[in-house]
Structure 1
Amino acid sequence: MRITVLALDGVFDTGLAVTLDAFSTAASLSAMLHGGTPRFDVTTVSTRRKVRTAQGLTVPVQPIKPASKPDWVIVPAVIASTPEQLFTKLERPDVREAISQLLKWSAKGSRIGAACMGTFILAETGLLDHQESTTTWSLAPFFRQRFPQVQLDESRMIVPCDIGVTAGSAMGHLDLALWIIRQASPELAGTVSRYLTADLRSSQAPFIIPNHLAQADPMILRFERWARLNLKDGFSLQNASKALATSSRTLQRRCDAVLGKSPLAYFQDLRVEHAQSLLHRDSHDIESIAAEVGYADGATLRTLLRNRLGRGVREIRAGFE
């Protein structure tokens, strides 16, 4: 398997390193335990002669060969502290050249993988239009606004699609590498996972901070504040709209445009977040926690937690220990 890692100036140090380390480990273990099959030939290239990481380290890169046709091209994240900084970086000449090159590779049949903020670079090509995708959950509202044609689901960690695969935040680079290795050999991917004491994660949901997402839009922020004050009373779209001095239809449209979900779904996100916080306190039993977040019984809350987080009450509590 020929893999090209496209490193751009300001690349996320850990994202680039963990990607290269995962494939290096796979290559070593394949040679040692699996007779050298499958092979992983990894090349790090760039549209610049010199590349520095976000922490200022120099990355040894090779120039892009016009005739190259890798099996996979991986786009690690570039670091930006704000959406505005990220969007400015997307207009850099080297990034625009990289976007053009990704289109050429895709036209030749190469599959493309991107993680975290690297998904923005991939989305800029238009290749993700009408495709399912994920991204770093913290910038999901801005991704959704910039790329409305992409079917975004930031709750998922890995999302395969016709042109390749996307992965979520930060350490999603490792999930991305393991997923690609698994396509070549599930057995080898399992061995690499054990050596790196890591495994594929299906969801970003346990890591999402609802308040952070609300900061992307003034109306959503006001809705979030109202919701937190009314968790015990339960959700009413009419009451929420009235408190925000807007119509129910406008609130629904705004939630869908910014969050990709209904007002009720976001209200339930806040319930889950608050319930997780209360589960950290051993003195709170599940029935009292259910009452605190507006449910009549603990069974309903258990179902919500299992559906949203993929974990039960005991597992959630164990994660805090």
Structure 2
Amino acid sequence: MNQGFQILTSTAPISVAIINLPNALVSSILGIQDVFHIANTFCIADKSRLFSVQIVQEKESIVNFQSNVPLKTTSLDLKQNFDVIIIPPIISDVRDIKVSKTLNTWLNLMYAKGSYICSVCVGTYVLASVGLLDNIKATTHWSIEQNILDTFPLVLLDIDRIVIEDKNIITAGGISAYLDLSLYLIRKYFSILVAYECANFLVVDAGRTSQKHYKNLASLSTELEPELKELLAWIKININQVLTLAILAKQMHVSERTLMRIFKKKIGILPTKYLQNIRVQMAKELLINSQKSIEQITFNIGYEDIPSFRRLFKKKTGLSPGEYRNIFMVKF
């Protein structure tokens, strides 16, 4: 939650528009509707002021992600007024997301009218595309972090947070963060008590603030040359060894300076940070897929200083190794 969080008070219904777009996730669209309807029915005592939710789309026919579920929708209209507008999760390569001039104009007009403009997951890419995230703090799904940074350098991206509000723009992280966004809005328009009552009804955690521990630290968003792919594969095989910049450069038959330049250009980070990321990611997998002790795992991934690794793990994931295992290891 942002430090400037304020509950909005009014007696008017809260009008919410969920924008249906190509490859939008229908389960999330309906899920957002359901959360607000549950809040209206079971959690909000004063029935004179409730959420009023519409699904709005630009075109008459929209093909959603892997779904033929019919949605009751209305069309975009420049005369419309909404308190809240939500771009839902979109399951698509961001390079295939196209924002029309009509939607661009509509979103910017609604923002100028005073609407809260929200996005979930890859929906952040839509807001960035229409210029609404220039010099705005925002979050998104961890898998498109580098793409956002490269394509929209004016976005003040903080990938670790689940929900961020900045200047009437509210962004939420991964796909399931539509729940966090919905609860955030319930808290914003009513109270923290109503939001927690709704969270308890849904049996979800209302206190999530970070998505650091969900991020795949080994994920790469760009195509790599065969030589670099070979090096990364070699690193995984030899991760339990001492791996210095000089050793990596020799393995790829380039100078250390050239290796740093290649990593920065193709992966977005320097080799030392990549090694940290891959080791933490491998530790995460071992923590939930094996019974090895934290000490054994530390040695298996090439660390000898256990306290140092614990600090690195906590920095990268927001959790200690023990906490991570307790939360994510499947227990039967």
Q: TM-score, normalized by length of structure 2?
A: 0.81
1:230-241 superposed matches below 5 A: 230-234=238-242, 236-241=244-249
Q: Which residue pairs with 2:202 in the alignment?
A: 196
Q: How does 1:215-294 map to 2 (within 5 A)?
A: 216-218=223-225, 221=229, 224-234=232-242, 236-246=244-254, 248=256, 252=260, 255=263, 261-280=269-288, 283-294=291-302
CA contact (8 A) 1:10 1:53 kept: yes
Distance (whole Å) between structure 2 residues aligned to residue 236 and residue 144 of structure 1: 28
The structure richer in helix per residue is 1
The CA deviation at 1:75 is 0.6
- The one-letter amino acid paired with 2:122 is M
Q: Structure 1 pair 237/69, CA: closer, same or farther in 2 (3 Å)? A: farther
Q: Tell me if structure 2 keeps the 8 A contact 1:133–1:150.
A: yes
State whether structure 2 residue 79 is matched by structure 1 residue 67: yes
Show CA shifts across 1:278-300 (max 9, x none).
Answer: 22365522222222223223322
User: What's the C-alpha RMSD, in Å, of the aligned pairs?
Assistant: 2.8
Q: 2:47 matched to which residue of 1?
A: 36
Report the equivalent of 1:186.
Answer: 192
Q: Do the aligned residues in 2 keep the contact of 1:51 with 1:58 (CA within 8 Å)? A: no
Measured after TM superposition, the shift of residue 138 of structure 1 is 2.3
Match for 1:151 among 136, 156, 173? 156
Q: For residues 174 and 224 of structure 1, what CA distance do their matches in structure 2 show?
A: 36
AA in 1 matched with 2:284:
Q
Please give the alpha-carbon distance, in whole angstroms, between the structure 2 residues aligned to 1:258 and 1:150: 20
Q: 1:175 to 1:141 in 2, by over 3 A?
A: same
Deviation, 1:126, is: 1.1
The answer to whether the 8 A contact 1:29-1:188 is kept is no
Pair 1:281–1:123, CA change in 2 (3 A) = closer
Q: Distance in 1 between matches of 2:229 and 2:157?
A: 21
Which residue among 46, 62, 68 is the counterpart of 1:56?
68
| Amino acid of the structure 1 residue aligned with 2:88 | P
What pairs with 1:74-89 in structure 2 (closer than 5 Å)? Answer: 74-80=86-92, 83=93, 86-89=94-97
SS at match of 2:125: helix
Aligned mates of 1:66, 1:283 — CA distance in 2: 59
Shift of 1:127: 1.3
Aligned equivalent of 2:10: none
Contact between 2:249 and 2:256, CA under 8 Å: does it hold in 1?
yes
Which region of structure 1 is more displaced relative to structure 2, 210-219 or 122-131?
210-219
Q: What SS class does the counterpart of residue 165 from structure 1 fall into?
A: strand
**Structure 1 Cα separation of the partners of residues 38 and 313 of structure 2:** 36
Matched residues in 2 for 1:26 and 1:283: separation? 42
Deviation at 1:302, TM superposition (A): 2.3
CA distance in 2, matches of 1:50, 1:134: 30
Paired residue secondary structure (2:285)? helix
Name the SS of the counterpart of 1:160 in structure 2: strand
Contact 2:43–2:197 at 8 Å: present in 1 too? no
Q: Residues 12 and 215 from structure 1, CA distance in 2 versus in 1: closer, same or farther, beyond 3 angstroms?
A: same
Q: Give the partner amino acid of 2:313.
A: L
When residues 76 and 283 of structure 1 are mapped into structure 2, their CA distance, relative to the original with a 3 A threshold, is closer
1:313 aligns with 2:321: yes
The number of equivalent residue pairs is: 312
Is the contact made by 1:211 and 1:224 (CA closer than 8 Å) also made in structure 2? no
Aligned to 2:214: 207
Name the CA shift for 1:45/1:142 in 2 (closer, same or farther; >3 Å): same
% identical aligned pairs: 26
Aligned residue for 1:44, secondary structure, equals strand
**Pair 174,255 (structure 1): closer, same or farther in 2 beyond 3 Å:** farther
Q: State the one-letter code of the partner of 1:278.
A: L
Distance 1:294 1:30 in 2: 51
Structure 2 unaligned blocks of 5 or more: 1-13
1:22 maps to which residue?
35
Partner of 2:6: none
Pairwise CA distance, 1:38 = 5.6
What SS does the aligned partner of 2:219 have? helix
Q: Measure how far apart 1:271 and its partner are.
A: 1.3
Q: Extract unaligned runs of 5+ from structure 1.
A: none
Runs of 4+ in 1 over 4 A off after TM superposition: 219-223, 245-262
